[in-house]
Structure 1
């Protein structure tokens, strides 16, 4: 994944939104605004369904794809760690295989399984994954966003699809009659153009799909009086330093804060 940055200037965010609205399919403008408002990953935005949304309250709950996959991966790893211990006992009288089991990382232990164990281990892994609850994210859409989503749902009601970003809703002739969802690659093609578009008004940010989530986190940080704990909880980070790098707090930001402190102490 190419490295991208948050857009620090709020006016630059608005300029980007207007550019998208004027030059691209309305779906991209809507995705941009949803990303900035919610901080959802692009993959989760693209999978958004109308049935996920309570249009009366604006409340929405989605299953986070990356977080859920990571949780399932951890469940698999727990099983494989247990299997490694079981293999050590199984091979205790076979020095060669016992040594191989000891030095093999648990996540590669499947290659050492006896043939008669393979089905059993696969079933245990499958059961562990199935028993793992998904990672969900609840949030509120603004009244403006709810209105936009209602309009989109009404406009494309003839498509009979619950998916907000069904490819059949796109204006492109290539997408007409094609099943599936708008892709991350298509979003990257459009959003990456904003790097050069925003250069014209003084931005130096490298823009891509993940810029939305990083920009959301950065502006949440400043809108909440620099509550880094809230940002960490919302984004799912475990380290303040990681979150600060993520939202683009730079040496220049730190120097500006020091200058502000000096002015404050001198007054």
Structure 2
């Protein structure tokens, strides 16, 4: 699997949903924006059911860890949720596949592969290696830039160690070297 990156530039971050809606679909733009705001693994993000959302919170069991994630929906995530549920009141999944050619087929969420392709295509336009993990990595990186609290980022991402989190959000040796050079006491 190809290594994907966190988005580091806020202007690029803001351009991604615009490019996704232009070069793919509004649904892919919604996946990106919701994913950036919720920092979920892609399997959990695509598996969100309407029934997982109640009173402005998302409560679900994470597929990888088996842990319960109980996360408040911020204003952006709540707006996306309300918009989708209003447009598709009979939906089951928040990001439900709408390309079913056969009405009798089972209702299912978007596929990880279709999301990965849309993100990769936009990543090629902007020069960033985007993938399904980029949303989660980006959320962690921006929180770290804001707080400089790796333990907090690790807790938000529900990682077991801060070392994993540092690698995950793309803090490299050159970033640490720059910290030594920039901070002179």
The reply to whether TM is greater than 0.5 is yes
Contact 2:93 2:108 in 1 (8 A): no
Give the helix-richer structure, 1 or 2.
Answer: 1
Cα 1:231–1:32 shift into 2, 3 Å: same
The corresponding residue for 2:61 is 63
Contact 2:140 2:157 in 1 (8 A): yes
- Residue 155 of structure 2: which of 233, 236, 240 is its match? 233
1:215 equivalenced with 2:147 (yes/no): no
| Structure 1 residue 153: Cα displacement | 0.9
The corresponding residue for 2:73 is 141
- Residue 190 of structure 1: which of 118, 124, 143 is its match? 118
Q: Which runs of 5+ in 1 are unaligned?
A: 69-134, 200-204
Cα 1:175–1:12 shift into 2, 3 Å: farther
Higher relative contact order (CA 8 A, sep 6+): 1
1:45-60 map, 5 Å: 45-54=45-54, 56=55, 58-60=56-58
Distance 1:144 1:195 in 2: 22
Cα 1:261–1:61 shift into 2, 3 Å: same
Structure 2 residue matching 1:138: 3-state secondary structure: strand
Distance 1:176 1:16 in 2: 32
1:163 equivalenced with 2:88 (yes/no): no
Cα 1:23–1:250 shift into 2, 3 Å: same
1:165-184 map, 5 Å: 165-167=95-97, 170=98, 172=99, 177=103, 178=105, 179-184=107-112
Distance 2:60 2:161 in 1: 24
Q: Which has the larger radius of gyration?
A: 1
Q: Structure 1-normalised TM-score? A: 0.63
Contact 2:23 2:122 in 1 (8 A): no
Displaced runs of 4+ in structure 1, greater than 6 A? none
Distance 1:207 1:39 in 2: 15
1:66-81 map, 5 Å: 66-68=64-66
| Structure 1 residue 175: Cα displacement | 5.0
Distance 1:53 1:236 in 2: 20
CA RMSD of aligned residues (A): 1.9
Q: Which runs of 5+ in 2 are unaligned?
A: none
